[in-house]
Amino acid sequence: MYKELALEHFNNAEGLYLNGDISGAITLYKNALRCDPNLTEAALNLSYALVDQGLLDEAIIYLQPTLDNNPDNAGLLHNYANILLKMKRYEEAISCYEKALKNQPQSVVTRFNLAVALHQLNRLEDAKDQYIEILDLDPFHKEALYNLSSLCLNLAKYEDALNYLNRCLKIDPKDPKTLNLIALTFHKAGNYRAAEGCFRRAIQIKPGDYTFHFNFANLLSNQERIEEAIAEYQKTIQLNKDFLEGYIQLGNHLKKKKLYEEAIGVFNQAISINNNSAETYNNIGNIYKELGRYEEAIAFTKRAIEINPQQAGYYFNLGLSNKELFRYTEAIEAYTEAIKLRWDYPEAHWNLALLLLLKEDFKRGWSEYEWRKKLPLYAPYIRTFKEPQWEGEQDLKGKTILIYDEQGFGDAIQFIRYAKMLKDEGAKVVVECLSPLSRLFQYAMGVDQVITRGFPLPPFDFQCSMLSLPMYFKTDLSSIPAETPYIKLPQDIVAQWQERLLDFKDKFKIGISWAGINPPHKSCPINTLSPLFEITNLCIFNLQKGPAQEELNGLSKDINLIDFMNDSKDFADTAAIMKNLDLIITVDTSIAHLAGALGLPVWVMLHYDADWRWLLKRPDSPWYPTMRLFRQPEYGNWKALLQDMALKLKASITQDKN
């Protein structure tokens, strides 16, 4: 009697289910199972209905007893696995699918779902094997072909992906989804022209699919077609007003075009969609950082960190903004946190190094400074040698060591002083450098041989970059090798230039250099030097080379400025000119280091955000005893600096006369 009643409930439930009354059907299926717990069809169909209603946990509960009683039922196993798949319990789903396939090895549907589960677990090779087996059973299984193509794309097997996608197109030549995946594959393979054609065709067939526009925008972005990319990102969010990534990318590209206010507006829209999007807050912070609005930048970056404290890049950005506000302790803390989260983060290590050195923490600073070698910008300086690197421990007695320059001329001039320390260790010191420094470094203390970069090197036992020597010699503030001069020009070179300056022998002679290579804000516009030009009985010599030398053409003819630099072949000639002057005045450039290395009086004009080697607030330099530092009183204020310097220079000239 109960079995008959169970069947009646079951049949009525089937009718309700077919008519769309899912809730009513669920009630009757449950009634059927109460009457006959072994009615497999009722348990199976009840699970379907519960899944339709999103009641996955309940579906599992009702299906489990039936499956326990019928552990080899392929249909039950398959449906049970499907529910587990929806619940993202992939390992359990895979186990059930595999059991089902033992009983029904030819089931394409079960094998396809198994492949999907494997794919979700990123077991790509296993998933690939299952897709291929499906295609052996059904060569025209479009979903298997499509998924297999996607899998090959993820494995960077672009040719295989395109082969499977072409089979998809033969089944349905106008399928926009397939065309979109073909375009993505061409994009990844670097065939941008073919990718663009396929994206345009997919969009033509189905213009309302926002993902096609988004993917096409990404392609345009990779080609730096920013304005076109912006247009496609705008279409993306028009088609799907809740697509967060579309807003983020649109905002990023508006930022690239320096349309900052528009970008902020778009990011605010993104926040209205998801106010827990850490990336969006970080992006707004980056805009404010570029605008120099650092307090606002910090506020938004901190919000990003609150949402996602595991993102190293956010701490890095926080460090950048704090550094610009001269909050060095906070910046160091931020960079340190970034490194904790991502040890292999060269930019964070490098920025940390500069601040540690600036704050006189040389021990940690030199160690972090080594990370410069992993910066992308460092790639042109990378050197490879079969000879081992000297690291401060190996005995140098009777050995030859090669030391080489890396970056700017100023760095090389500053650190060539370590050649003498290597010589004192018993080494023969060979220096490799760029040609403008070659003749100068022949006169550096401790140097035995100089090789111009690009020429064959002699045999040597060890090698080391000049910029790594302070670390290996464990240099701290108290042990800086500050003896000057450590470059000593022969008198005959100095005398050659002395003859050319004889007409000015009775005047106070200064040499000036006002511009470095970068960053540009650390250069001083030549017209800003007017307080110096106005000093009477002063003879001014140009020491500037390169493009900035052309600024001399714009000076008033009343300014008495002598320019011999076109006759200066290299740094040795420039050094000889400087040896015949009374004072060098320069910005932070190679001329400052050259004057210091020669032991000449030198006054250095420092931007408010001075380089690490000048430390903080000091009027002198522990690297160069003859150097005097003049610092901007506030950001960008060269005028006040020059007025102060002019007063001190007048006083110095008066004292010199007396």
**What is the per-residue pLDDT across 281-317, written as a single tens digit (0 to 9) for each?**
999 999 999 999 999 999 999 999 999 999 999 999 9
Contact between 535 and 593 (Cβ < 8 Å): no
The yes-or-no verdict on residue 136 having pLDDT over 80 is: yes
Residue 658: predicted pLDDT: 58
449 φ, ψ to 5°?
Answer: -155, 140
- Burial of 384 from C-beta contacts in 10 A (0-12 / 13-18 / 19+): exposed
Rounded average pLDDT over 170-195: 95
Please tell me the least confidently modeled range out of 82-96, 302-316, 578-592: 82-96
Rounded average pLDDT over 337-356: 98
Q: Which helix (H) or strand (E) holds 40?
A: helix 40-52
How far apart, in whole angstroms, are the C-alpha atoms of residue 561 and residue 548?
A: 15
Residue 196: predicted pLDDT: 96
Rounded average pLDDT over 404-424: 95
Share of the chain above pLDDT 70, in %: 98
Report the 10 Å Cβ neighbour count for 380: 7
Report the 10 Å Cβ neighbour count for 596: 28
The first and second tokens of residue 211, run together, are 């993902």
The yes-or-no verdict on residue 566 having pLDDT over 80 is: yes
State pLDDT tens for residues 496-512.
Answer: 999 898 888 888 999 99
The first and second tokens of residue 70, run together, are 């019928």
Strand arrangement, sheet containing 627-631 = 561-562, 538-542, 508-513, 583-587, 602-606, 627-631
Residue 553: predicted pLDDT: 81
How far apart, in whole angstroms, are the C-alpha atoms of residue 42 and residue 11?
A: 9
- Burial of 83 from C-beta contacts in 10 A (0-12 / 13-18 / 19+): buried
Three-state secondary structure call for residue 55: coil
The yes-or-no verdict on residue 633 having pLDDT over 90 is: yes
* Listed ranges 85-94, 415-424, 518-527; the one with the highest mean pLDDT: 415-424
Residue 9: predicted pLDDT: 66
How far apart, in whole angstroms, are the C-alpha atoms of residue 643 and residue 647?
A: 6
How far apart, in whole angstroms, are the C-alpha atoms of residue 544 and residue 591?
A: 8
Residue type, 621: S
Pick the CATH number of 491-657 from 3.40.50.720, 3.40.50.2030, 3.30.70.20, 3.40.50.2000: 3.40.50.2000
* 604 pLDDT tier (thresholds 50, 70, 90): very high
Higher pLDDT, 125 or 39: 125
State pLDDT tens for residues 238-251.
Answer: 999 999 999 999 99
Q: Where are the domains of the chain?
A: 383-472, 491-657
Rounded average pLDDT over 192-214: 96
* 92 pLDDT tier (thresholds 50, 70, 90): confident
Report the 10 Å Cβ neighbour count for 585: 28
Rounded average pLDDT over 268-280: 97
Residue type, 33: L
Which CATH architecture describes the domain 383-472? 3-Layer(aba) Sandwich (3.40)
Rounded average pLDDT over 89-114: 87
State pLDDT tens for residues 448-467.
Answer: 999 999 999 999 999 999 99
Q: Do domains 383-472 and 491-657 have the same CATH topology?
A: yes
Residue 657: predicted pLDDT: 64
Nearest 5°: CA angle at 377, between 372 and 381? 70
Beta bridge partners of 462: 401
Name the one residue in this structure whose structure tokens are 């199976």. 44
Residues contacting residue 623 through CB under 8 Å, at least 6 positions apart: 414, 480, 482, 596, 613
Rounded average pLDDT over 64-89: 81
Please tell me the least confidently modeled range out of 34-38, 259-263, 281-285, 335-339: 34-38
Please, how many CA atoms are within 13 Å of residue 410, restricted to the half-sphere of its CB?
A: 17
Instruction: List Cβ<8 Å contacts ≥24 apart for 163-169.
Output: 168/142
The yes-or-no verdict on residue 133 having pLDDT over 80 is: yes
How far apart, in whole angstroms, are the C-alpha atoms of residue 186 and residue 257?
A: 27
Could you give the residue ranges of the DSSP H alpha helices within 241-327? 244-256, 260-273, 278-290, 294-307, 312-324
Please tell me the least confidently modeled range out of 50-59, 135-144, 480-489: 50-59
The yes-or-no verdict on residue 1 having pLDDT over 60 is: no
* Listed ranges 218-227, 505-514, 648-657; the one with the highest mean pLDDT: 218-227
How far apart, in whole angstroms, are the C-alpha atoms of residue 47 and residue 79?
A: 8
Residue 80: predicted pLDDT: 78
The reply to whether omega before 485 is within 30° of 0 (cis) is yes
Residue type, 274: N
- Torsion 435-436-439-444 (CA) sign: negative
Contact between 42 and 6 (Cβ < 8 Å): yes
How far apart, in whole angstroms, are the C-alpha atoms of residue 598 and residue 626?
A: 9
Beta bridge partners of 432: 404, 451
Residue 195: predicted pLDDT: 96
Rounded average pLDDT over 605-616: 94
Please tell me the least confidently modeled range out of 300-304, 363-367, 407-411: 407-411
Q: Which helix (H) or strand (E) holds 134?
A: helix 124-137
Three-state secondary structure call for residue 462: strand
Higher pLDDT, 100 or 600: 600
State pLDDT tens for residues 532-553.
Answer: 998 888 899 999 988 888 888 8
Read off the pTM.
0.85
State pLDDT tens for residues 5-45.
Answer: 767 767 777 777 777 787 887 787 777 777 777 777 777 77
Q: Pick from 53, 46, 116, 54: which is nearest to 81 by CA?
A: 116
Please tell me the least confidently modeled range out of 473-487, 530-544, 610-624: 530-544
How far apart, in whole angstroms, are the C-alpha atoms of residue 197 and residue 189?
A: 14
* Cα-based distances in Å from 33 to 44, 78, 122: 11, 20, 38
Rounded average pLDDT over 161-174: 93
